[in-house]
Structure 1
Amino acid sequence: MQLTHGDTNRTPSVKPLGTQSSILIIGAGTWGASTALHLARRGYQNITVLDPYPSPSPISAGNDVNKILELSSSAPRGSAERYVSDKLAHDAIRGWKEDPVFQGLYHETGAVTAATSEEGRKALNEGDGYSEADGWMQLKTKEDFQATMPKGILTGDFPGWQGWAKKDGCGWVQARKALERVIDEAKRLGANFVTGERGHVLSLIYEDDDVKGAVTAQGPSHRADRTILCAGANAARIFDMKDQLRPGAWTLSHIKMTPEETTLYKNLPVLFNVERGFFMEPDEDQHELKICDEHPGYCNWETNPGNPNSVSTPFAYHQIPLEAEQRVRLFLQETMPHLAQRPFSFARICWCADTPDRAFLISRHPDYPSLVLGVGGSGHGFSYIPAIGGVIADCLEGHMDAKMIHRFRWRPETAVNRNWQDVQDRFGPDGSNHVMDFQKVAQWTSIEYSAS
């Protein structure tokens, strides 16, 4: 954790930044890998990336077979928040479509977004996110939902469902393949990835009122001219984030599909219910359909939330709580009941970290001029992997967009007396519309699986 070192009123001297500067990136997940790639493409020749796990990390939320890509914003048109959201979305979509690293990984299949409760439907219909003017078509009946996919797929009754459908500008991406390609290309361009105990950061190096690198569990310290913290859910373990990050985990599961089913389900629009869960077309390599139950997230509190010394500690686990399995099966029962009792072939938890307002935190630290923060994905960070590293690189170089500087600034004032139970506009099925605690989970699945 961060400690106060020396006279914080003194301005430390900082070496000028150049392509020969030593750059240390802590974290090789979505944002750390993207930052390494963007810096390498800008000609930086001394980039080191540290992570305790092999790349891609099994704990990274981005290390997943697929992810939804739907980047519409509900922020008011003309607002600074909408400007930032639209700019990021534009740059990300351009990367998915035009960058050779990402080409072929974005599947523009369209999307269906829905809700079940009155509160959920109200959240969908307010703001500027979903409207006919933006190409969305309203869905009100079971038949409306069933018509969005080929006959024989959506056989459920969709009780209480209402929502919207769109055929273009959204879909899904092959997440793990994208992360692997980013890492491979960054390595090809000279970035050095250090994993295992030699990449397991224990603390930062503080000297002369600045950050000068990191200490790892094994091997020599890594000293650097600039340090970029992209450690995701583990960032608060390494540096005092002043309660701006809440590490939380979400749950996913896979079921096996036959080759014939995989063909039938190909090119489906993503189906997402804000209170039930989501799925997209099966993975054609493993013939598996991924289903996620929707909920406000799990924390792993070492002490009681609200205690200033409490910490939500991430851990890797390839099982999910039995209650999460029940939520998945409820979602399937309402949409595809013919699959509702099919055994799971794979399951795991994946971690992210929420800021108080779910805006990213990409900023130079005000007290440590050689430290750059790239954290706070807040459950929607992966979609921007083609572009987010460029934003962090701009921050490092000092020419980040002015509106992004404000939106993504270091803002501990937003976390004063933080409500750790805030669901932050997320929903879940009856009985789970609250932030849950792994410490209170009574039973887990016991799935035997092959790597996928």
Structure 2
Amino acid sequence: MAMNPNSKVIIVGAGVFGLSTALRLSKRGYRNIHIFDRQPYHNNGYSFLQGADAASADENKILRASYADRIQYQNLAFEAMAEWQKWNEKLAATAPEDLPPGLSPETVLWHQSGYLRLSDHHGLEESERETQENFPPEIKHTQYRVTDEQRRADAKKDGIPASKIDPFGRLDRGLPMDGILDMTAGFLLASRACSFALHLCQNAGVLVSLGPERALESLVQDETKVTGIKTADGTRHSADLVIVACGGWTPSILPQVEDLLETTSGSVLSLQLPNDRQDLWDKYSPELFPVWDWNMGGGYVPYQNVGGIYGFPRTPEGVIKIAFRGAKWTNYSREGSTGQPLSYPKTDAKKVPREAMRVTRAFCAENMPDLLALDLEYERLCWYTDSVNNSFLIDYVPGTEGLMVASGGSGHGFKFLPVLGEHVVDVIERKDTEYTRLFQWRDVPEGKRNGLEEGPEGWRRLDKQKMAGKGQWKATSKL
């Protein structure tokens, strides 16, 4: 059926995909939008420490447009940066009493701190060379190659602290390194950004039902049509369209996507800077320290070298996050529609794989040894969905009227929160654009499929890993 502003739309999932879709539906004039989610985000503010366990619930996320030859994602990221700046301004102009807990007019969601992309050898990674070739000419001056003496001098002239070019002192120590400091990029305060987006949804008239009793129990459907959902409290809710935007839970809800999406996780370590260590607060501040990554271009070899790791400046509260994505862990603990094992989020894990701890500790020992003297605040597995080609899956589900999927964030979706919904609504309205074609339902490719080809036999299975926790973080601890 053709959708119109009076059509009733149910969105299952209040993460980035769901929030962005609701906001843009409202902006397009839709008046009957309802978000459901099992998590009480209105109470926990999307905070992991308060019990939120979605991929969107995080201290911070990278905002960057470095996408090698994927120009559509690059352009969408630059568009998102402009919108994030508007959100900063909108938040600053809102009265404190009109904001949800955890937000104030002084909260800055988008920090343009710079993003330092490094490898442990001379020469740029292929993906970085493609990024530099495809960035618009008018921003080339914002790209500083760290091994280029002239560009380091240009950075100094442009007022960029030397600590952002070489935060780990590798040049002074004669250690191998090459890469680009990209000053168009930076980070987002993720949980607070979601809280603000939820606030904007409610202000726009979107109905929001959160908490365990409002969790999706089942879709209401016959063989070819979905007509609504049933929630855990037994209530049926009718709809003209149901959109499943449930992140890592999506493959277990929609059997149709099992071959296209896989639930995987990265490993996150969080440290709290002591209040009496002003030296560390200064050193790791966004004004002096960039977002960074190390050997993210495929240089990581399991159980051997150090790579696939990234980190952030401190948050306003003094939290430093370091994450490992060299290996994306799977948890084949459920059975799929065909009887084959299905990866499912394991949100109760109290530790991370020892390999993630090894890589993170080894990097810090060489580059940030002061952090190894601190206690970990927490370690966690951050569950999301990988698609077969690393591109989002946003489309009607074939053969089922009234049902859409919006998922497959593949670890890079958060940055698009202010703009992604525009293209989801284009899909809803069946418009033919470069983005609706980019996100459309796809065939399963032969051969390499973003890791999904490994399946249950792969080495990344969580039950094949030895685990490590807080007690194995410090330099004096044994792994």
TM tier, shorter chain? 0.7 to 0.9
Quote the offset at 1:395 in angstroms: 1.4
Give the aligned partner of residue 411 of structure 1.
442
- Corresponding residue for residue 246 of structure 1: 262
Q: SS state of the match for residue 445, structure 2?
A: helix
Provide the rounded CA distance (Å) in 2 between the counterparts of 1:251 and 1:221. Answer: 37
Taking structure 1 as reference, are residues 387 and 295 closer, same or farther at Cα in structure 2, changes over 3 Å only?
same
After TM superposition, the score normalised by the length of structure 1 is 0.81
Counterpart CA distance in 2 for 1:59 and 1:422 is 27
1:262 corresponds to which of 264, 281, 297: 281
Higher share of residues assigned helix? 2
Tell me the amino acid that sits aligned with residue 59 of structure 2: V
Distance 1:92 1:361 in 2: 19
How far is 1:415 from its partner?
Answer: 7.1
Q: Which moved more, 1:215-224 or 1:382-391?
A: 215-224
> C-alpha displacement at 1:316, in angstroms?
1.5
Give 1:65's match in structure 2, choosing from 47, 59, 63.
Answer: 59
Partner of 2:319: 288
CA RMSD of the aligned region, Å?
Answer: 3.3
The amino acid that maps onto 1:114 is L
Alignment match, 2:304: none
Give the deviation of 1:347 after TM superposition. 1.8
TM-superposition CA deviations, 1:340-397 (whole Å, max 9, x none): 3422112211111111110111112332242222111011000101111221122112
Q: CA deviation at 1:187?
A: 1.6
Name the residue aligned to 1:138: 145
Tell me the distance in 2 between the aligned counterparts of 1:111 and 1:248: 25
1:7 paired residue number: none
- Provide, for residues 153-197 of structure 1, a one-character-per-residue CA deviation record: whole Å limited to 9, x for no partner: 52465844321112x211111111111100111122222222333
Amino acid at match of 2:469: T
* Residue equivalent to 1:395: 427
Deviations 1:187-211 (A, max 9, x none): 2222222233333223322236211
User: CA 1:149 to 1:89, structure 2 compared with 1: closer, same or farther past 3 Å?
Assistant: same
State the partner residue of 1:450.
Answer: none
Match of 2:383 in 1: 351
For the residues of structure 1 that align with 2:310 and 2:118, how far apart are their CA atoms? Answer: 10
SS in 1 for 2:264: strand
CA distance in 1, matches of 2:368, 2:254: 45
Q: What residue is the counterpart of 1:123 in the other structure?
A: 126
Q: Does 1:195 align with 2:210?
A: yes
How is 1:181-330 mapped onto 2 (pairs within 5 angstroms)?
A: 181-207=196-222, 209-240=224-255, 241-259=257-275, 260=278, 261-266=280-285, 267=287, 268-273=289-294, 274=296, 275-285=307-317, 287-302=318-333, 309-317=340-348, 319-330=351-362
Of residues 142, 146, 149, the one that matches 2:163 is 149
- Confirm or deny that 1:17 pairs with 2:49: no
C-alpha change, 1:234 and 1:304, in structure 2 (3 Å) is closer
Give the conservation status (yes or no) of the 8 Å contact 1:38–1:389: yes
- Of the three residues 104, 109, 115, the one matched with 1:111 is 115
| Conservation of the 8 A alpha-carbon contact between 1:422 and 1:435 | no
Distance 2:113 2:351 in 1: 29
Q: Secondary structure at the match of 1:377?
A: coil
| Residues 356 and 415 in structure 1, CA contact (< 8 A), matched pair in contact too | no
Tell me by how many angstroms 1:319 deviates.
3.6
Count of residues paired in the alignment: 413
Q: Which amino acid aligns with 1:35?
A: T
* Equivalent residue, structure 2, for 1:93: 81
Deviates more, 1:63-72 or 1:154-163: 154-163
Q: 1:79-137, CA deviations, whole angstroms, 9 ceiling, x for partnerless residues?
A: xx52x22441232112111245567311111111012368x954344424468963422
- Partner Cα distance (2:165, 2:68) in 1: 32
Q: Label 1:131 to 1:385 Cα distance change in 2 as closer, same or farther (>3 A).
A: closer
Residues 397/421 of structure 1: CA separation in 2 closer, same or farther (3 Å cut): closer
Q: Could you give the per-residue CA deviations for residues 290-310 of structure 1, whole angstroms, max 9, x where no partner exists?
A: 1112313101012799x9611
* Farther-moved stretch of structure 1 (262-271 vs 371-380): 262-271
Structure 1 residues 408-417 or 61-70, which shifts more? 408-417
- Whether the 8 Å CA contact 2:270–2:376 is kept in 1: the answer is yes
Q: Partner letter of residue 225 of structure 1?
A: D
Q: Return the alpha-carbon distance in structure 1 between the equivalents of residues 201 and 345 of structure 2.
A: 26
Q: Are the counterparts in 1 of residues 265 and 381 from structure 2 also a CA contact under 8 Å? A: yes
CA contact (8 A) 2:117 2:292 kept: yes
CA distance in 2, matches of 1:227, 1:53: 19
Aligned to 1:426: none
- Equivalent in 402, 407, 416 of residue 384 of structure 1: 416
Separation in structure 2 between the aligned mates of residue 215 and residue 148 of structure 1, nearest angstrom: 56
Whether the 8 Å contact between 1:360 and 1:377 is mirrored in structure 2 is: yes
1:386–1:150 Cα change, 3 Å: closer
User: What is the rounded CA distance, in whole Å, between the counterparts of 2:245 and 2:147 in structure 1?
Assistant: 42
The amino acid of 2:225's aligned partner reads D
1:337 and 2:359 matched? no
Matched, 1:445 2:457: no
Map of 2:33 onto structure 1:
47
Alpha-carbon separation, structure 2, partners of 1:26 and 1:158 = 52
CA distance in 1, matches of 2:443, 2:180: 37
Q: CA deviation at 1:40?
A: 2.5
Distance 1:42 1:369, change over 3 A: same
Alpha-carbon distance in structure 1 between the residues aligned to 2:335 and 2:10: 34
Is the CA contact 2:352–2:469 (under 8 Å) kept in the aligned structure 1?
Answer: yes
Partner of 2:477: none
Q: Is the alpha carbon distance of 1:131 and 1:148 closer, same or farther for their aligned partners in structure 2, counting shifts above 3 Å?
A: farther
CA contact (8 A) 2:389 2:449 kept: no
Contact 2:38 2:213 in 1 (8 A): yes
**In 2, Cα distance between the equivalents of 1:405 and 1:337?**
46
Q: Which runs of 5+ in 1 are unaligned?
A: 1-13, 76-80, 424-433, 448-452
Q: Distance in 2 between matches of 1:87 and 1:131?
A: 10
- Asked whether the equivalents of residues 277 and 291 of structure 1 are also in contact (C-alpha less than 8 Å), the reply is yes
- How far did residue 258 of structure 1 move? 3.4
